[in-house]
């Protein structure tokens, strides 16, 4: 049995007209001989509406009841879509998370998937040609309804593909793929044919909001090929896959940016065991997600500690730091909420040197000051003044020739580096 998963987001199921487009995509897959698992989101705006309703009813909505309510958004989409399919004579039915069942833990609002009843899904696919599956939702071991966090239908779709061994998981959305950078910032941005899971994780975690990050982690773990493409055209989108050799010809695949950063420097703290833990433990307990961390080498038993947090967490972070300031010996605390992080991402960096210097030279040409640098195997991130975010993105995009399709690597056989 050939199985395909097709996931459609809220804008793709917003009204009857949009759902007709969805129907065309599903029909094309059926014509190609596939059984189709169609994972749907709630109609555009519905989840926000439902959440606002709850917040009007209660100042502290019970998370379990909240999940019970927001799952209705997806329930409406799959039931309506099944009716459309049935009217076309297609053998189809809707399936809610608890009917599969898709078991999750009991972290309401951000539950993690534990298990999907794959044999049951397979059995239903014998009986039906299309299963319209409500995204974003599951149920815990006590049969309470749960949701996977905002954008969670992407993760539902990838999980369904993994559970049924589908050939591909197509994520249909209102953009036509993953770009080398945000096209709203850089008109030269180019759609990528392929991107490695690891690169996508870096892109997604930095504001390329095409997919829920967890869906990419899931796809990587279970090696599910994910095709991100547009509901409203037939052109191929971007394929997310395991790294392959052709990817190495592109040293850099994309430039991501994140404006939601605030910088904090603790000057002259003691350089002794336990100081970092003293600083970052209370922040972790408070749920502050610390991003870049840089500690300078010691000078006479003292050091500077610099890190970034989301802008909205700056006040709370400064309060926490104030409480421990004396304990860590900080002579001064500096902060700057007007910064953003721009990152150069590419698998090719692992085997090639000189990428950082290309980036730094390009920024020098534009007189852009770098406040903080951090690197990983496949990423170089620079913190810059917020007002230069767009210029930094465009400068780096050009420096790495990202507007041009990379040429396939043409090494002589037997030549090694």
Please report, in range form, the residues annotated as the binding site for substrate: 47, 74
Nearer to ligand ASP, 135 or 346 (CB): 135
Phi and psi at residue 233, to the nearest 5°: -140, 175
Residue 163 CA, chain-centre distance (Å), reads 21
- Measured CA to CA, the distance from residue 211 to residue 153 in angstroms comes to 9
Check binding of 10 to ligand ASP (CB under 6 A): yes
- CA 217, 46, 42, 135 torsion-angle sign: positive
Q: At closest approach, how far in Å is the CB of 305 from ligand ASP?
A: 36
- Measured CA to CA, the distance from residue 72 to residue 269 in angstroms comes to 52
- Measured CA to CA, the distance from residue 209 to residue 42 in angstroms comes to 18
Q: Binding site for ATP: which residues?
A: 7-10, 173-174, 179, 209-210
Q: Which residue among 6, 12, 47, 381 contacts ligand ASP (CB under 6 A)? A: 47
- Look at residues 77, 59, 93, 102 and name the one whose alpha carbon lies nearest to residue 19: 77
Binding partner of 42, given ligand ASP, Mg ion, none, CB within 5-8 angstroms per partner class = ligand ASP
Check binding of 73 to ligand ASP (CB under 6 A): yes
Q: How many residues make contact with ligand ASP (CB under 6 A)?
A: 12
- Measured CA to CA, the distance from residue 74 to residue 147 in angstroms comes to 11
Phi and psi at residue 19, to the nearest 5°: -65, -25
CB 31 within 8 A of CB 23: no
Nearer to ligand ASP, 47 or 265 (CB): 47
Q: Which residue among 97, 101, 135, 348 contacts ligand ASP (CB under 6 A)? A: 135
Q: At closest approach, how far in Å is the CB of 9 from Mg ion?
A: 5
Tokens of 379: 């990423």
Check binding of 9 to Mg ion (CB under 5 A): yes
Nearer to Mg ion, 5 or 252 (CB): 5
Nearer to ligand ASP, 67 or 271 (CB): 67
CB 149 within 8 A of CB 212: yes
Check binding of 128 to ligand ASP (CB under 6 A): no
| Stretch 26-45: interaction string toward ligand ASP, x if CB under 6 A | ---------------xx---
Check binding of 97 to ligand ASP (CB under 6 A): no
- Look at residues 187, 193, 175 and name the one whose alpha carbon lies nearest to residue 405: 193
Q: Which residue among 101, 151, 254, 348 contacts Mg ion (CB under 5 A)? A: 151
Check binding of 152 to ligand ASP (CB under 6 A): yes
Nearer to Mg ion, 9 or 73 (CB): 9
- Look at residues 373, 366, 372, 403 and name the one whose alpha carbon lies nearest to residue 388: 366
Q: What residue ranges bind Mg ion (CB under 5 A)? A: 9, 151
């Amino acid at each position: 049995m050939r199985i395909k998963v097709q996931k459609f987001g809220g804008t793709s199921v917003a009204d009857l007209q949009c759902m007709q487009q969805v129907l065309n995509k599903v029909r094309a897959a059926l014509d190609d001989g596939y059984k189709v698992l169609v994972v749907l989101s709630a109609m555009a705006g519905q989840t926000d509406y439902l959440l606002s309703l709850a917040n009007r009813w209660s100042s502290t909505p019970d998370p379990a009841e909240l999940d019970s309510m927001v799952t209705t958004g997806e329930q409406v989409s799959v039931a309506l879509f099944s009716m459309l399919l049935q009217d076309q004579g297609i053998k189809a039915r809707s399936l809610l998370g608890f009917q599969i069942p898709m078991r999750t833990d009991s972290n309401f609002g951000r539950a993690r998937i534990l298990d999907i009843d794959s044999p049951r899904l397979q059995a239903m696919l014998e009986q039906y040609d299309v299963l319209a599956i409500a995204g974003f939702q599951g149920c815990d071991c006590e049969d309470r309804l749960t949701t996977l966090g905002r954008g969670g239908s992407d993760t539902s779709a990838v999980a369904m593909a993994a559970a049924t061994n589908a050939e591909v998981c197509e994520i249909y959305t209102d953009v036509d793929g993953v770009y080398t950078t945000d096209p709203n910032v850089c008109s030269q941005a180019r759609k990528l044919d392929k991107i490695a899971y690891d690169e996508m994780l870096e892109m997604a975690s930095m504001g390329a909001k095409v997919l829920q990050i967890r869906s990419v982690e899931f796809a990587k773990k279970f090696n599910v090929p994910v095709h991100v493409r547009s509901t409203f055209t037939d052109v191929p989108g971007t394929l997310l896959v395991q790294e392959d050799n052709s990817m190495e010809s592109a040293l850099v695949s994309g430039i991501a940016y994140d404006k939601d950063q605030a910088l904090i420097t603790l000057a002259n703290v003691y350089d002794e065991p336990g100081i970092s833990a003293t600083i970052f433990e209370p922040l972790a307990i408070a749920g502050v997600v610390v991003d870049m961390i840089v500690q300078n080498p010691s000078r006479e038993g003292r050091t500077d500690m610099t890190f970034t947090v989301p802008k909205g967490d700056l006040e709370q972070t400064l309060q926490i730091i104030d409480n421990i300031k004396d304990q860590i010996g900080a002579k001064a605390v500096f902060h700057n909420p007007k910064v953003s992080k721009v990152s150069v991402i590419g698998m090719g960096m692992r085997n090639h040197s000189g990428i950082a210097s290309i980036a730094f030279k390009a920024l020098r040409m534009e007189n852009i000051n770098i406040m903080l640098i951090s690197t990983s195997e496949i990423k170089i991130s620079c913190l810059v003044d917020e007002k230069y975010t767009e210029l930094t993105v465009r400068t780096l995009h050009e420096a790495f020739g990202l507007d041009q399709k990379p040429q396939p690597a043409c090494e002589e056989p037997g030549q090694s580096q």
